[in-house]
Amino acid sequence: MTQTLSQLEHHNAFIQRHIGPSPEQRAHMLSAVGAATLDALIGQIVPADIQLSAPPAVGEAATEARALAELKAIAGRNRICKTYIGMGYSAVITPPVILRNMLENPGWYTAYTPYQPEVSQGRLEALLNFQQLTLDLTGLDIASASLLDEATAAAEAMALAKRASKLKQANCFFVADDVHPQTLDVVRTRARTFGFDLVVGQAEAALEQPGVFGVLLQQVGTTGELHDYRELLAALKARRIVSCVAADMMALVLLAAPGAQGADVVFGSSQRFGVPMGYGGPHAAFFAARDEVKRSMPGRIIGVSRDAAGNTALRMAMQTREQHIRREKANSNICTSQVLLANIAGLYAVYHGPAGLKRIAGRIHRLTSILAAGLTAAGITPRFARWFDTLTLDVADKAAVLERAREAGVNLRADLDGAVGITLDETTGREDIAALYAILTGSRQALDIDALDAGIGEVIPAQWLRTTPILTHPVFNRYHSETDMMRYMHRLENKDLALNQAMIPLGSCTMKLNAAAEMIPITWPEFAELHPFCPPEQAAGYQQMIAQLSRWLVQLTGYDALCMQPNSGAQGEYAGMLTIRRYHESRNEGNRHICLIPSSAHGTNPASAQMAGMSVIVVACDKHGNIDLHDLREKAEQAGDELSCIMVTYPSTHGVYEETIREVCQIVHQYGGQVYLDGANMNAQVGITSPGYIGADVSHLNLHKTFCIPHGGGGPGMGPIGVKAHLAPFVPGHAVLHMDGVLTRQGAVAAAPFGSASILPISWMYIRMMGAEGLKQASQVAILNANYIASRLNAAFPVLYSGRDGRVAHECILDIRPLKEATGISEMDIAKRLIDYGFHAPTMSFPVAGTLMVEPTESESQGELDRFIDAMLAIRGEIDRVAKGEWPLEDNPLVNAPHIERELAGEWTHPYSRETAAFPAGFEHKYWPSVKRLDDVYGDRNLFCSCVPVSDYE
């Protein structure tokens, strides 16, 4: 009976933890769908001519412990130095109560974007706090719920300026010469594709420049000079030029708000509000504007509305501006943004409150002034007379200063001519000032900090300082003890439905397991505390991890090279479009500007193509949901030598593997176009087929879908692009960090060279723990799970599109239109009723209006799938009762869903019981939404996007 050691070892343990169904459950589900084996099922579904014959070379699976140990060793090659580089990135202290209860808490990080507001009131409130913080600090009227980073926010500000400008002939965007270089890089890239003239110069020169529609200024210049731009802002306003100001969130605590001084748009990074530098991200940008331009705003905005019972309730406002509705006419292509990081920044402000923030900002500034005074006395006078936290110091012997810094393990900003830069932060203390003094002066004489402190005055003129109070709303003044803060965060968390409660079957979103072992490394100091522009040799661990992950992804996609910069899928699309555009230009075919996009495409596709200067032409789909090859050929031919590319999703957004995908690629190539394959559905490809093998030229990967980065309630994400060799020289590079062989010299699409580098360990861990075998199984079981659901629900809710043998890919679309026609019950009623059963709704009305798209992923066990299926079948039974007239159409559990606790306590007048209302699936998995169905119309008619008076909640 004894087993040998090798029998007892279990190297594949993680595969079985990641994949929900046990071997017995898989066997049961296979027989339910009528397939002999998993391989046989996949053989029936995936077209034979695209199936891989050999597994991708990504190695074998490792246990959690082994993978963590390997990654720890890699992380150990990063060197953490005291870093004063600044340039928009500062060391921080993440309040431990936020670290543990939010950043490390699946109740927060596994939630989805709040498209179903009834199950998202907690994170919507947290985002509203972030918007209120932004409004208070910027002095403007309307704020968004985060953008991807400061540099892309600048590009969005430029685009907004053009949309909002009344000077229709003006085509020039003027940028002050002391904005951060990475901001300028991203703005320059975007200006080119929009066809704007970009002029860089000393700020006041904007007034002399003809044809300017917008100006970009930076309140605390990249070299530290503090500006008070009120006169310039007034002069720009008089000329009807839109003014955009990049600002530092910590400096804004002390300084007069640019919005109050006349700026039209104010934006910046919220990183230094508690979010680690993480070698570049993820970080949330804040963005605020004047009321007049609110309909031109990019990104999501949270607004206050009311629910069906008239109670205050939150939702995403003005969605008609966004890509999922307006497509190529949208304000921006933003889908995934930075919700989790915005929430951390907002809660940092809640925790510290106005007094705490003033103390933190004041201390940073005071330490800077003390250092400046000490250095001045030693003969090193700061280049500028006014600063917040950053000094530019012209030094006689820069090499010697940098050498002393290196010896002391200190990073200074080193890219300035004849000077070094020093930016202080909330982690800086007295001993650090003393060390910096020694490095700069080379003197052994100690700095008398107390004497300097007593002797210096304020360098910022009084009229530049903020005089009005900030953060007066009670939420910023109530939770300053850890107990209160912990409970506040828990209260918000409890309002939301995340993966720690139930499956989230959102089609196209791939809400799979985000394993704890994958998440652990992101908060290791070796990954969290690196500055993106630190000397490359200090980031050897990062470079190794990124290179290995890139190699694996190259294997899995069938491409030749990978660009790890874009911070979301949509940014990947934009990066891919740019790459194609540059490729054509390099061959003197810059006239190729037409991008073909099937009508079923995700809204980001046309929006991204438009941002890259392409003209979108829609290709029809046939009645089976497949690309109409006839129409494709005709449109490709019509486009002729103006054809740039096609953007196609595979398996299609209709949830089927189109048999003709190779032909689609061939047709486009035949007319000189490139093939962009949207990789959001890679979860149905990994290990089975690949975009490169199919014949595509470039794809983005949503690492936050297929490769386990959690959705964070609406971000972060990572959207790296894979490319074939001929496109590799044209992918985005970086203006600040140069690494030959790793980064091109092309214009950037994000502030940081490797995007949100600090969440890449999640995908690294996933691939390492799954290995080639586990990854292939994951795709196969994802397909099995979807087919199991489709086969069991088809009779009650017809599956709209299927491929050969009636099979679907990794998701399926349930057509609710016939039922609605017959009974009056809509897909919305079903979605909301699912909440009473303890589930998040599937994707509603995408890609086809009146449908629900279900994607279970491989991580859900048969038990959870059955629970979902049972809920859907029970709902179908309820619809039948409405149809039979047992319940009136205007008063039944479906149209009244979801039900909340407090309505059970009141008078009950409905023709169904309280138990039917609230416990249709029993008690064990009960989830309570905190509000009833949202009133969308009311919210957009009465737009209100800041914190609500507390009385509204009581």
Question: Is residue 700 within 8 Å of 671, Cβ to Cβ?
Answer: no
Nearer to ligand PLP, 148 or 534 (CB): 148
Stretch of 72-80, 188-196, 568-576, 880-888 contacting ligand PLP, by CB under 6 A: 568-576
Nearer to ligand PLP, 331 or 604 (CB): 604
- Residues linked to residue 305 through DSSP beta bridges, in sequence order: 313
Instruction: Please report how close the Cβ of residue 507 comes to ligand PLP at its closest, in angstroms.
Output: 8
Question: Is residue 365 within 8 Å of 388, Cβ to Cβ?
Answer: yes
The Cβ of residue 100 has, within 10 Å, a number of other Cβ atoms equal to 14
Instruction: Please report how close the Cβ of residue 319 comes to ligand PLP at its closest, in angstroms.
Output: 15
Positions in 127-146 near ligand PLP (CB under 6 A) = none
Positions in 330-369 near ligand PLP (CB under 6 A) = 335-336
Task: Write each residue from 507 to 536 as x if it is in contact with ligand PLP (CB under 6 A), else as -, in one continuous string.
Answer: -x----------------------------
Using alpha carbons, list the distances in angstroms from residue 909 to 53, 892, 912, 914: 63, 11, 9, 10
Question: Is residue 949 within 8 Å of 474, Cβ to Cβ?
Answer: no
Nearer to ligand PLP, 538 or 649 (CB): 649
Instruction: Please report how close the Cβ of residue 158 comes to ligand PLP at its closest, in angstroms.
Output: 20
Name the residue among 530, 605, 703, 618 with its Cα closest to residue 324. Answer: 605
When binding is defined by CB under 6 A, the residue of 20, 181, 717, 774 that contacts ligand PLP is 717
Using alpha carbons, list the distances in angstroms from residue 100 to 97, 103, 125, 501, 751: 6, 6, 19, 19, 28
Instruction: Please report how close the Cβ of residue 336 comes to ligand PLP at its closest, in angstroms.
Output: 3
When binding is defined by CB under 6 A, the residue of 570, 607, 647, 790 that contacts ligand PLP is 570
When binding is defined by CB under 6 A, the residue of 183, 702, 791, 862 that contacts ligand PLP is 702
Instruction: Please report how close the Cβ of residue 483 comes to ligand PLP at its closest, in angstroms.
Output: 37
The Cβ of residue 910 has, within 10 Å, a number of other Cβ atoms equal to 16
Whole-number Å distance between alpha carbons of 19 and 770: 10
Phi, psi for residue 309 in degrees, rounded to 5: -95, 5
Residue 721 is given by DSSP the state E
Q: Which run of H or E residues covers position 813?
A: strand 812-815
Stretch of 68-76, 132-140, 563-571, 741-749 contacting ligand PLP, by CB under 6 A: 563-571
Stretch of 194-202, 354-362, 565-573, 659-667 contacting ligand PLP, by CB under 6 A: 565-573
Question: Is residue 452 within 8 Å of 118, Cβ to Cβ?
Answer: no
Cis peptide before 651 (omega within 30 of 0): yes
Q: Which run of H or E residues covers position 376?
A: helix 339-377
Positions in 673-692 near ligand PLP (CB under 6 A) = 678, 680
Question: Is residue 314 within 8 Å of 300, Cβ to Cβ?
Answer: no
Nearer to ligand PLP, 113 or 261 (CB): 113
Query: If binding is defined by CB under 6 A, does position 779 make contact with ligand PLP?
Result: no
Whole-number Å distance between alpha carbons of 457 and 450: 13
Instruction: Please report how close the Cβ of residue 846 comes to ligand PLP at its closest, in angstroms.
Output: 9
Nearer to ligand PLP, 162 or 602 (CB): 602
Using alpha carbons, list the distances in angstroms from residue 32 to 25, 395, 783, 790: 10, 76, 14, 11
3-state secondary structure of 422: strand
Nearer to ligand PLP, 282 or 569 (CB): 569
Phi, psi for residue 114 in degrees, rounded to 5: -75, 55
Reading the block at residue 221, the tokens are 């210049």
Nearer to ligand PLP, 139 or 719 (CB): 719
Task: Write each residue from 455 to 494 as x if it is in contact with ligand PLP (CB under 6 A), else as -, in one continuous string.
Answer: ----------------------------------------
Whole-number Å distance between alpha carbons of 677 and 101: 38
Query: If binding is defined by CB under 6 A, does position 722 make contact with ligand PLP?
Result: no
Positions in 533-562 near ligand PLP (CB under 6 A) = none
Nearer to ligand PLP, 336 or 785 (CB): 336
Q: Residue 43: what residue type?
A: G
Instruction: Please report how close the Cβ of residue 601 comes to ligand PLP at its closest, in angstroms.
Output: 7
Query: If binding is defined by CB under 6 A, does position 653 make contact with ligand PLP?
Result: yes
Nearer to ligand PLP, 172 or 570 (CB): 570
Whole-number Å distance between alpha carbons of 684 and 661: 15
Nearer to ligand PLP, 224 or 717 (CB): 717
Stretch of 239-247, 252-260, 385-393, 566-574 contacting ligand PLP, by CB under 6 A: 566-574
Instruction: Please report how close the Cβ of residue 853 comes to ligand PLP at its closest, in angstroms.
Output: 10
Reading the block at residue 486, the tokens are 């912990």
Query: If binding is defined by CB under 6 A, does position 152 make contact with ligand PLP?
Result: no
781: which residues sit within 8 A by CB, 6+ positions away?
19, 20, 21, 26, 38, 858
Stretch of 101-109, 374-382, 567-575, 778-786 contacting ligand PLP, by CB under 6 A: 567-575
Nearer to ligand PLP, 68 or 335 (CB): 335
Reading the block at residue 419, the tokens are 């000077």
Whole-number Å distance between alpha carbons of 362 and 790: 60
Query: If binding is defined by CB under 6 A, does position 649 make contact with ligand PLP?
Result: yes
Instruction: Please report how close the Cβ of residue 655 comes to ligand PLP at its closest, in angstroms.
Output: 11
Query: If binding is defined by CB under 6 A, does position 25 make contact with ligand PLP?
Result: no
Positions in 599-618 near ligand PLP (CB under 6 A) = 602, 604
Instruction: Please report how close the Cβ of residue 512 comes to ligand PLP at its closest, in angstroms.
Output: 14
Nearer to ligand PLP, 475 or 621 (CB): 621
What does DSSP say about strands 285-289 and 301-306: parallel, antiparallel, or unpaired? unpaired
Instruction: Please report how close the Cβ of residue 634 comes to ligand PLP at its closest, in angstroms.
Output: 25
Question: Is residue 712 within 8 Å of 105, Cβ to Cβ?
Answer: no
SS3 content of the chain, % helix, strand, coil (to 5): 45, 10, 45
Phi, psi for residue 303 in degrees, rounded to 5: -125, 160
Q: What sections of 442-481 are H helices per DSSP? A: 449-455
Positions in 183-222 near ligand PLP (CB under 6 A) = none
Number of residues that bind ligand PLP (CB under 6 A): 15
Instruction: Please report how close the Cβ of residue 573 comes to ligand PLP at its closest, in angstroms.
Output: 7
Nearest to ligand PLP by Cβ — which residue? 569
- Could you report how far apart the first and last alpha carbons of the chain are, in Å? 66
Nearer to ligand PLP, 717 or 929 (CB): 717
Nearer to ligand PLP, 90 or 689 (CB): 689
Query: If binding is defined by CB under 6 A, does position 568 make contact with ligand PLP?
Result: yes
Nearer to ligand PLP, 348 or 754 (CB): 754
Nearer to ligand PLP, 346 or 569 (CB): 569
Positions in 730-749 near ligand PLP (CB under 6 A) = none
Using alpha carbons, list the distances in angstroms from residue 701 to 274, 642, 676: 28, 27, 12
Q: Which run of H or E residues covers position 314?
A: strand 312-317
Token pair 């905005």 is found at 301
Name the residue among 823, 822, 826, 800 with its Cα closest to residue 811. Answer: 800
Whole-number Å distance between alpha carbons of 231 and 213: 18
Positions in 389-418 near ligand PLP (CB under 6 A) = none
Nearer to ligand PLP, 336 or 862 (CB): 336
Instruction: Please report how close the Cβ of residue 701 comes to ligand PLP at its closest, in angstroms.
Output: 10
Nearer to ligand PLP, 245 or 595 (CB): 595
Q: Which residues bind ligand PLP (CB under 6 A)?
A: 335-336, 508, 568-570, 602, 604, 649, 653, 678, 680, 702, 717, 719
